[in-house]
Structure 1
């Protein structure tokens, strides 16, 4: 009986580790990632980016929690869901896979602040964030919690697979 219980615990741990929003690795933080500094898109006047940035500032540093959708902890899709609800008054699908099946596909050269960007990690699209302009996106990562990163940063470079717009 102990072996069965142990196998269930191991299986549950593996499922959690492999599922959801995997964003392990080293993140490149921009110098603008300081309190009170807005990314270029917000400074340039994108109302959508400014509203999303305000939500980001409220939750910056909140730890990663698989399945999380609150200030106690977020996973990547939970943060996106909350940012869109609080910042834009919009309801998005709950999971990354549901988001991938919704919204309007955005071509790579036409990504705008507020678009949801998706990244391929370990062979499948399982991480997402919100594009903020320039090369910045905000997201909940397993290693840093709610943070901003460079799409061209060490870990993220070459992993962006697509973007969706939810207007």
Structure 2
């Protein structure tokens, strides 16, 4: 008899517990939140959830660096100079024009001086040769985003070209055969004529 009563009490308790754990109000929020990747956002609701998962500044930085990584063909560390990256990207595709420094056409030093004036408010010397005197020379393995890279054809000839270093051996410059573009220091032409790197203090 006692055994039957105990079993009945356990059965009733089991039913009550199952009711409380399985039934939730229709308007209740889920107990857990599933992380949403910013690359799999399909609706405004998903966007709102994603924004809650990341601080707004971090989320915006992620989108910024991902966009410009794809645009420039680089992989940033999310700590590079955002204004510099955005500015040089705006110049991509500008045709080469000797002696000019506008987005209608620019030579290499005109491009560099325009970018440094726009981003940093710094007026550099107008020619690549004299610009080398404005920088503090640094070792090649210490180059950082925003440093300048210089080229010359031989030890007896002056510097003839300059560009702005970006990342992963890539630099942006105005080339005579294509205007403002991103190139690699590993390309045979630039590897052979690379002379030095410099930093504006």
TM over 0.5: yes
Matched, 1:44 2:77: yes
Larger RCO: 1 or 2 (CA < 8 Å, sep 6+)? 1
Structure with the greater alpha carbon radius of gyration: 2
| Counterpart contact for 1:112–1:133, Cα < 8 Å | yes
Unaligned runs of 5+ in 1: 1-32
Mapping of 1:81-92 within 5 angstroms?
Answer: 81-92=113-124
The CA distance in 2 between the partners of 1:84 and 1:74, in whole Å, is 14
The CA distance in 1 between the partners of 2:104 and 2:72, in whole Å, is 24
| Counterpart contact for 1:46–1:113, Cα < 8 Å | no
Aligned residues between the structures: 133
Aligned-pair distance for 1:34?
8.9
Q: With structure 1 as the length reference, what TM-score do the two structures score?
A: 0.71
| Counterpart contact for 2:150–2:159, Cα < 8 Å | yes
Larger strand percent: 1
| Counterpart contact for 2:147–2:197, Cα < 8 Å | yes
Which one of the candidate residues 145, 149, 164 is aligned to 2:179? 145
The CA distance in 2 between the partners of 1:47 and 1:66, in whole Å, is 30
| Counterpart contact for 2:72–2:89, Cα < 8 Å | no
Aligned-pair distance for 1:38?
5.4
The CA distance in 1 between the partners of 2:153 and 2:177, in whole Å, is 14
Which one of the candidate residues 98, 106, 116 is aligned to 2:148? 116
Q: After superposition, what is the alpha-carbon deviation per residue over 1:46-84, rounded to whole angstroms, capped at 9, x for unaligned?
A: 432x32221122111111011111111111000001111
The CA distance in 2 between the partners of 1:95 and 1:163, in whole Å, is 16
The CA distance in 1 between the partners of 2:183 and 2:152, in whole Å, is 16
RMSD: 2.2
Q: After superposition, what is the alpha-carbon deviation per residue over 1:124-148, rounded to whole angstroms, capped at 9, x for unaligned?
A: 3200100111110000000010000
Mapping of 1:1-167 within 5 angstroms?
Answer: 36-37=71-72, 39-40=74-75, 43-48=76-81, 50-121=82-153, 123-167=157-201
1:133–1:145 Cα change, 3 Å: same
| Counterpart contact for 1:121–1:159, Cα < 8 Å | yes
Larger helix percent: 2
